[in-house]
Amino acid sequence: MQRFKLFLLLFFIYFKSFSQYTAIPDMEFEQYLINNAIDTQALPDGQVLTADIVNVTDLHLTNINSLIGIEGFVALTSLAITWSQLTTIDLSNNINLLNLDINYNFYLQSLNISNNINLIGIECYENQLTHLDLSNNINLIQILCHRNQLTSLDVSNNLNLLALIAWDNNLSQLDVSNNTLLSILDVSSNNISSLDVSQNTMLGSLGCSNNLLTHLDLTNNANLNELWCNNNQITTLEINSNSFYAIPSQSNNFTIPVFNCSNNNLSQLTIQNGNNISLNGIVTYIQGTVVYKRFNAKNNPNLTCIYVDDVVNCNANWTEIDATTHFVNNTADCQNLSDSDFVNNQFNISPNPTSDNVVINFGVFQEKVNITLYNILDQFVSSQELQNIALTSYPIIGEKGIYFLKIENQKGTTKTYKIIKD
């Protein structure tokens, strides 16, 4: 009899241990478990047998309001939570996670993944995150956190990182000097004024459009084949060690390299490396009747010359440039071009007659000009040297009468205009 009682006691303890429940108060969460045959009781009663969930490795949850119960899924390696109404997510108990997709949760402001040291990939875009602590996630190779409200992002501990997509946030700076394996970086549409990618020698794709950059040094980025740096304030861009390459126009299966530096203040652009003779594959991609332009340097009013390997190819294919911009092989060609423009262009000087100043519109960007004013007796009145200019105002000093305004470029070519002061 005693043995029978002992047997019943042990059986009760055994049954009890395998009949523990984990609360799942969110109806959508529990219905997902029922639909996917995880909840073996198949009853929407706000709970699930713990034994049913301890070995689950993959979940994809949508439209949930509460994540209570997620702590019971201790074996999870992949978790996706999308289009939900969560404001905070804490995954401290899910230490086996390898991949995490937390996207399109438009109320989500806080994400705790500090215990998830095994993570190799995280996607948390289209949320309202203002902070993202990745300091413990040292195994990450991919971070997609675009379209949030992040004001800072520290990736200094993520030494294995291959891809970082963080566009459309509120970042004012980003240090990627420790991420030497990085091959894809996109920080477009932020408030970044300085970006150092000199240590990222493996970088193949860089997006930094719509920022506040005034300088971009890509001389160490020999593997770069895709660049978006449009809508900044960049004045000089040199990438003459790049690996931009041509792709046949009939290709439909992979991304064509992009070079977009439009809407800047560029005065110098060099894309020579001796290998760009066939770069027309970058700029024109014909698919049916649609032509995709992959090179764009428009709206750089100070850009006179673009240094390239093959001027003929570029003139034939690279059409997305300003009317005042020209392709050249070397500095001498650029200077000759500037001199030709200087001679052929009729400068607009107004008002004339004038009572004080005249506005000189050169029509095209001038690297260097000397302006000298003489009176009717050919006597010197004033002079001024100007650089990197297309429009200027010049004072007509002296009494009323006739003056001569001589404009001389850096090659010594001159043009003289008669000015009447009334």
What is the DSSP annotation of 84-135?
A: ---SEEE-TT-TT--EEEEES-TT--EEE-TT-TT--EEE--SS--S----T
Q: Give per-residue pLDDT as tens, 335-348.
A: 666 555 555 566 78
Question: Does residue 67 surpass a pLDDT of 70?
Answer: yes
pLDDT at position 274: 53
pLDDT at position 240: 56
3-state helix, strand, coil in the chain (%, to 5): 15, 30, 55
* CATH 2.60.40.3080 domain residues, the chain: 342-421
Give the Cβ contact number of residue 161 at 10 Å: 25
* CATH 3.80.10 domain residues, the chain: 179-329
Q: Give per-residue pLDDT as tens, 268-327.
A: 777 765 544 444 333 333 344 444 456 788 888 778 788 887 788 777 777 788 877 888
What is the DSSP annotation of 152-168?
A: ----TT-TT--EEE--S
pTM of the predicted model over 0.75:
no
Question: Does residue 242 surpass a pLDDT of 70?
Answer: no
What CATH architecture does domain 179-329 belong to? Alpha-Beta Horseshoe (3.80)
Beta strand residue intervals within 223-335, DSSP E: 226-228, 236-238, 259-260, 268-270, 284-287, 290-293, 295-296, 305-307, 326-328
In angstroms, the CA 238 to CA 164 distance is 23
Question: Does residue 370 surpass a pLDDT of 70?
Answer: yes
pLDDT at position 324: 73
**In the predicted model, what is the mean pLDDT of the chain?**
83
Domain 342-421: CATH class, spelled out: mainly beta
Where does residue 231 rank: exposed (0-12), middle (13-18), buried (19+ CB within 10 A)?
buried
Q: In the block, which residue shows the tokens 């002061």? A: 421
Say which DSSP state 2 is in.
Answer: H
In angstroms, the CA 174 to CA 158 distance is 13
Burial 29-42 (b: 16+ CB within 10 A, else e): bbebbbeeebbeee
Q: Give per-residue pLDDT as tens, 273-282.
A: 554 444 433 3
Burial 63-77 (b: 16+ CB within 10 A, else e): ebebbebbebbeebe
State both tokens at 117: 């040291």
Average of pLDDT values for 101-106?
96
Helical ranges in 268-416 per DSSP H: 280-283, 311-317, 331-344
pLDDT band for position 236 (cuts 50, 70, 90): confident
